[in-house]
Amino acid sequence: MNIAIYGDSFADPNFRAGPLQSWDPRPSAWPTLLGQIYTLKNYARAGTGLYWSYQQFLSTHSQHDRIVFIVTAVGRWPTLIEGRAFGNSLEALDYHIKSVDLSREDLRRKLVAVRDWVLWARDWDYERSIHELILSDIRRSRPDALLIPIVGDTESLRDRPSVTDWARASLWTLTGDPRWRDTSNLPPLLKELRTACHMTPETNRSFLMAVGAALQSGLWQPRVPESILHKESVDYYYGEA
């Protein structure tokens, strides 16, 4: 089976979320592990929006037997700016703005304009509508595609488990904080140290099993684990934000 993956940092094994330069996220990332089972091409890139992933999908999906599409959050900037992707994170935008060469005032102004759009001009009704229209066309083109949301903000996927459901189960196991079991609550954030695709290695393996079963059944309707056994304590995987 020839599989393609599309998405953002939740599907990008090359994305290093934490500050540890000695930690290589790629070996434990679920797409890497899936590639040990199937022939796989991964088009995901951290920080990108749904429209960017959709463009990769349109030009390549016919080359693949099955599609795993990780659906990013609503409202991200749709394209790259000179190769830069930032997922509408103000922290990432500020980093890119500060790193622009002094001779590229035009690029700095573009990035500042995107930051201002994120802060002041984004129209959420429009963003949600465009999000759903893109997903409708993906379903039309590939009815067999597994559409997996990263969070629960996509209306047509609200009944589907999200990737962050696995991350929450992991953090509940590691911390014992019951707020991680309630999606309406957001406990104090932790800094990722040894994670891949925003999940611990153990959680990546759990998520891989769900994706593998869905590829066999053709349906993304897994049962999210209540807890995920880890070899190490929370301090190994996360630090204080």
The CATH number for 23's domain is 3.40.50
Same domain, yes or no, for 191 and 94? Answer: no
Residue 35 located in a structural domain? yes
Same domain, yes or no, for 13 and 45? Answer: yes
Same domain, yes or no, for 108 and 226? Answer: no
Q: What strands, in cross-sheet order, belong to the sheet with 2-6?
A: 39-42, 2-6, 66-71, 146-149
Residue 80 located in a structural domain? no
Q: What is the pLDDT along the chain (241 residues), one digit of tens a residue?
A: 999 999 999 999 999 988 889 999 999 999 999 999 999 999 999 999 999 999 999 999 999 999 999 999 999 999 999 999 999 999 999 999 999 999 999 999 999 999 999 999 999 999 999 999 999 999 999 999 999 999 989 999 999 999 999 999 999 999 999 989 887 777 888 999 999 999 999 999 999 999 999 999 999 999 999 999 999 999 999 998 6
pLDDT value of position 187: 81
Same domain, yes or no, for 131 and 93? Answer: no
User: In 10 A of CB 60, how many CB atoms?
Assistant: 14
* 81 contacts 49 by C-beta, under 8 angstroms: no
3-class DSSP assignment, residue 19: coil
Same domain, yes or no, for 128 and 96? Answer: no
User: What is the residue range of 127's domain?
Assistant: 2-75+122-240
Token look-up 């301090």 returns: 235
Same domain, yes or no, for 58 and 126? Answer: yes
Question: Quick one: which H or E segment has residue 164?
Answer: helix 163-175
CA distance from start to end of the chain: 41
In the chain, the number of structural domains is 2
Same domain, yes or no, for 16 and 110? Answer: no
